[in-house]
Amino acid sequence: MTKIMKANPNSFASGYHFYKMFWIFFISSILGFAIESIFCLLRYGYIESRAGLIYGPFSQIYGFGAVIMVLILHRISIKRELLLFFASALLGGLFEFSCSFIQEFAFGFISWDYSSSQFSIFGRTNLLYCFFWGILGVLLIEDIYPFMSYQIEKIPNKIGVIISSVLIVFILFDFSISAAATIRANQRSHAIPASNYIQTILDQYYPDSVLKKVYPNMIHVN
């Protein structure tokens, strides 16, 4: 049963305000990175980078997934846990499928391929991970989001706006440099030489060896 925590209507991030959703994205991205790292350690016996961005412990697929689930599932207030589970599994699976599709056609790479696994859905997701999305969705909507929302709204307004603004600028920079470095890596894979100053800088500071450490599972798609 969802834990009811009293909202602060005077908070800088009350309700479904942009700042609230940003903090849900930010925190969930870090939690997702931790989940992926622990999963890798338990399954394979070692720790490797599971980051989705070059700078910081962020797995943005979890961040965006959490925001989407909150905006859709929390607002329609599904009462039955089984229905919430299936809705979360479907939504999470569709989102993961979409992320794989967008990554391939926008950047020329994919970060996961489930083609060889059982119940694979075109290699972009599978039923097992849909099951995990279902569990995460139930936990998020019933327990995690109410707690996070309550704690976020406790942040003093002025401090909250300042910290949020700084973090937003940082995340936008992180997204931009990560996307640019990945696009440039795809160009290098096609033997396209640097033709401007920015591409030269990307080659210098974000060569394939650096990206391989950040994205060890990144697969080039011909």
Look up tokens 């940003």; give the residue: 22
Q: Are the C-beta atoms of residues 97 and 122 closer than 8 Å to each other?
A: yes
pLDDT one-digit tens code per residue, 12-43: 988 889 999 999 999 999 999 999 999 889 98
Instruction: Tell me which DSSP letter residue 126 carries.
Output: E
Helices 81-107 and 157-189 cross at an angle (nearest 10°) of 50
Secondary structure letter of residue 2 according to DSSP:
P
Which pTM was predicted?
A: 0.90
Both structure tokens of 199:
């591409």
Q: Tens of pLDDT along 79-125?
A: 788 899 999 999 999 999 999 999 998 888 988 888 888 888 988 99
